[in-house]
Structure 1
């Protein structure tokens, strides 16, 4: 009887070792071909003024805490996007807010009070009225002693239509800055007028409700929300060790915080390979997920990425990151 028990235990132990070996080998990069491509560079809000992230909250006026400017560009403007693409961006992220006359303004903040010389929200004004505002009014690097962009931002707030017209062949990540399903429906109506090729160059992310409404009206567009991320990643975390990729991952976008990424099965090469097969775009962002605006903004930040990383990189300083890959 004791001999039988020992035999059972040895077989269980052997099976356990085989399982561990399978999991290890199935999630390593030993048997996959390394892609020859460079990482996909995503410029957050174009080429923007950056600021300290210490103690930041949703109520923080980030224009009041910028670093001393070393370039002349303001976020979410056509000049800043031109500079970002010229620097080497593959994709640019920008934010949209609805206007009084049924358009979308390209603007980040919930209210106009922080950056501009006006108060209220974009929906209180027509696009023509928003054009008259100074979007550089509130920027300061010295606690209000000087305002280096005051008077220089008049007329720089573009509409969504202007951006897409100005850059007819470029790729964008469009951020719906709300959880209002009506904004998703409004955006779907606008984007539905575009040809299929142009839609394939656009991705939209935002709150669960507007993204669900957008996807319902435009099933083929690439989207991302907390809900789509969970639908993809939670089952993958549970079963991805087998090589299983949930159908919810197909043709979506995943923003993976760098501190969480190593816990994903097969990170990084095997994971990227699996997501490539289902047309899921992977963008790694800075930090632990507490603030998805954190990026890889200095050359030393890139050293935190896995060797030979080929996925997407979120950056607030495309001018400093793109040259690292252009010179290779």
Structure 2
């Protein structure tokens, strides 16, 4: 091959690389003078240390010394989260034996209540009679600061949506049973379309797939849909094209992997917004609902980030955006 041919190929490759770079450079995106929107995980809840945490750990028995009186997944905790500045509240649902949706996190009752057994094997009346603050302790069982204070606080999903008719929620299905996706679709279909538009659902692959078949316009996410979305975008996003797997959906993006996405952050966020997809960044690698819970943790985000932020401490994070102190956090924006 002649030197002229080599030079021509090199110029073509260089030109192509420059075009790809410019097409995916965050700094070329139109700036947005808006703050990020904040998602409060389980409302305003008690926090706990995560050392040695597994799927079987009873988190109520390892809480930090309480700084507020609220218990997760209750209407008072959601009201407090919205009052603190949450734009969206995440909640967990379990089906009851008599066909209701109870708002409760645990598969069993033994950890945080005075009941026993599998949650979904109980009726709604049985669940509402429980003390859902019974098992919380910050000192290895020496004291139980919420014992006796959680009786009757367990709500149903319809009660939550009726109490906050104009608010946005992220609903978590806590199983991989496709029947639960179909059951939830039947309930959500009874809601007016404007109300459904303020809801999104995530959970196991099978119930989410069943829910999406029943309500294709609803934003949903599962592990399978997240992987499909990100891999398809990694393959094609450099062109500016947003694949079908990334459209009209929900992406919970671990910040650890965000910088590998074409156009991160602003160009990527622009593309997802145009595709009617909601992006929520979670801390670290996304294990065990890691959140941005301290001012220091926000330094993982670019200073001009304007998507969603997952937090377990809405009371600590929201004031930073009201006062403008968020500007101290974050490094330089970067594209892939």
Match of 1:310 in 2: 306
Residue 319 (structure 1) aligned to one of 315, 318, 323: 315
Kept in 1, the 8 Å contact 2:27–2:266? The answer is no
Distance (Å, rounded) in 1 between the aligned partners of 2:235 and 2:186: 37
In the alignment, does 2:66 pair up with 1:72? no
In the alignment, does 2:251 pair up with 1:254? yes
Residue segments in structure 1 that go unaligned for 5+ positions in a row:
none
The within-5 A match list for 1:71-90 is 71-90=68-87
Distance (Å, rounded) in 1 between the aligned partners of 2:26 and 2:231: 22
- Which SS does the other structure have where 1:232 is aligned? helix
Query: By how many angstroms is 1:146 displaced?
Result: 0.9
Distance (Å, rounded) in 1 between the aligned partners of 2:296 and 2:27: 28
Residue 280 (structure 2) aligned to one of 283, 290, 312: 283
Distance (Å, rounded) in 1 between the aligned partners of 2:26 and 2:214: 39
Distance (Å, rounded) in 2 between the aligned partners of 1:48 and 1:290: 18
Residue 297 (structure 1) aligned to one of 270, 293, 296: 293
Superposed CA RMSD in Å reads: 1.1
Residue 10 (structure 2) aligned to one of 10, 13, 23: 13
Query: By how many angstroms is 1:12 displaced?
Result: 1.8
Query: By how many angstroms is 1:13 displaced?
Result: 1.6
- Which SS does the other structure have where 1:296 is aligned? coil
Q: TM-score, normalised on structure 2?
A: 0.94
Kept in 1, the 8 Å contact 2:44–2:315? The answer is yes
Moved more, 119-128 or 82-91: 119-128
Per-residue deviation, residues 101-125 of structure 1 (Å, max 9, x unmatched): 1001000111111111111122221
Residue 199 (structure 1) aligned to one of 193, 196, 203: 196
The within-5 A match list for 1:82-101 is 82-101=79-98
Kept in 2, the 8 Å contact 1:105–1:122? The answer is no
Residue 116 (structure 2) aligned to one of 92, 114, 119: 119
The within-5 A match list for 1:82-231 is 82-231=79-228
Distance (Å, rounded) in 1 between the aligned partners of 2:28 and 2:78: 39
Query: By how many angstroms is 1:289 displaced?
Result: 3.0
Residue segments in structure 2 that go unaligned for 5+ positions in a row:
325-336
Match of 1:35 in 2: 32
Match of 1:270 in 2: 267
Kept in 1, the 8 Å contact 2:135–2:147? The answer is yes
Aligned residues: 324
- Which SS does the other structure have where 1:319 is aligned? helix
- Which SS does the other structure have where 1:128 is aligned? helix
Residue 45 (structure 1) aligned to one of 34, 42, 51: 42
Distance (Å, rounded) in 1 between the aligned partners of 2:89 and 2:286: 20
Query: By how many angstroms is 1:290 displaced?
Result: 3.1
Distance (Å, rounded) in 2 between the aligned partners of 1:108 and 1:286: 20
Distance (Å, rounded) in 1 between the aligned partners of 2:183 and 2:163: 21
Kept in 1, the 8 Å contact 2:107–2:120? The answer is no
